[in-house]
Amino acid sequence: MTSGEVSKKEELVDAAERQFSEKGYSNTSVDDICDEVGVAHGLFYYYFETKEEIIEAITNRMIHELENILAEIVGDTDLRADEKFLRFMSTAFQSKREKPYMVSYYNKENDPKVYYQLFNKTVGMTTPYLTEIVEQGIKEGIFNTEYPEQTIRFWLNGRMFFMNEDGLLNEGLLDDLKAEAFMLERLLGTKKPFLSEFYDRYDDEIYEFIEKARRGDRDE
């Protein structure tokens, strides 16, 4: 693929992301995406067989960008382990904040394989970095667990159940997420709470994000 072809493909992905953010996934057509870029349908289908493929491209790009940021966080020698964990939580949330359509899309997808593929890819990427943060925290006396990698994997896999079939429609979702943070602190053996700071800081924004995702979920 030439540099020009890569650029045009990226233009289509950028346009799709803007259209999805503005109108939601279901309310955006291939016509809308092509019209914004100013290309014919043929070029769209040259790069993507379906509209679903372009949201997967957005997802892959988001995961790649998150991995780069996470690597920087882990490599920052000026931060304590708990500070790194909080920065990861903040970064992960901010990367999704403008993409509530992705939550509703994966939540409503009829084929669960699509969701599990995304989930497994994300867990596989984040686990080594978060394990390194926990291991740092053990050395610093912030965390106390004999199983840093297993703790992270169990936690990440547990998050899958918060976005199950009825996840977005669960009025207690935010409380569930706070309870999840409480339990993770216990698993990590922290001497004092630290994840509660994240929810205290972003409580309103998280609720707004959930509401946007719910609206997209109901529109589909």
pLDDT above 80: residue 118: no
Residue 217, pLDDT score: 47
Q: Boundaries of CATH 1.10.357.10 in the chain?
A: 52-219
Task: Look at the block and give the residue holding tokens 């493929």.
Answer: 53
Residue 220, pLDDT score: 47
Among 122, 131, 4, which residue's Cα sits nearest to residue 56?
122
Backbone angles phi, psi at 154, to 5 degrees: -65, -40
CATH no., domain 1-49: 1.10.10.60
Q: Boundaries of CATH 1.10.10.60 in the chain?
A: 1-49
Query: For residue range 49-99, what is the model confidence (pLDDT) as tens digits?
Result: 988 888 888 888 888 988 999 999 999 999 999 999 999 988 887 776 667
| Cα–Cα dist 104/35, whole Å | 24
| Cα–Cα dist 114/163, whole Å | 13
| Cα–Cα dist 11/35, whole Å | 12
Written as six digits, the tokens of 120 are 């497994």
Backbone angles phi, psi at 40, to 5 degrees: -80, 160
Q: How far is CA 197 from CA 110, 194, 209, 218, in A?
A: 36, 6, 18, 31
| Cα–Cα dist 59/96, whole Å | 10
Vertex 213: Cα angle to 187 and 193 (nearest 5):
25
CATH no., domain 52-219: 1.10.357.10
Neighbour-count burial for 127-147, b at 16+ CB within 10 Å, e otherwise: bebbbbbbebbbeeebbebee
Written as six digits, the tokens of 194 are 């630290």
pLDDT above 60: residue 33: yes
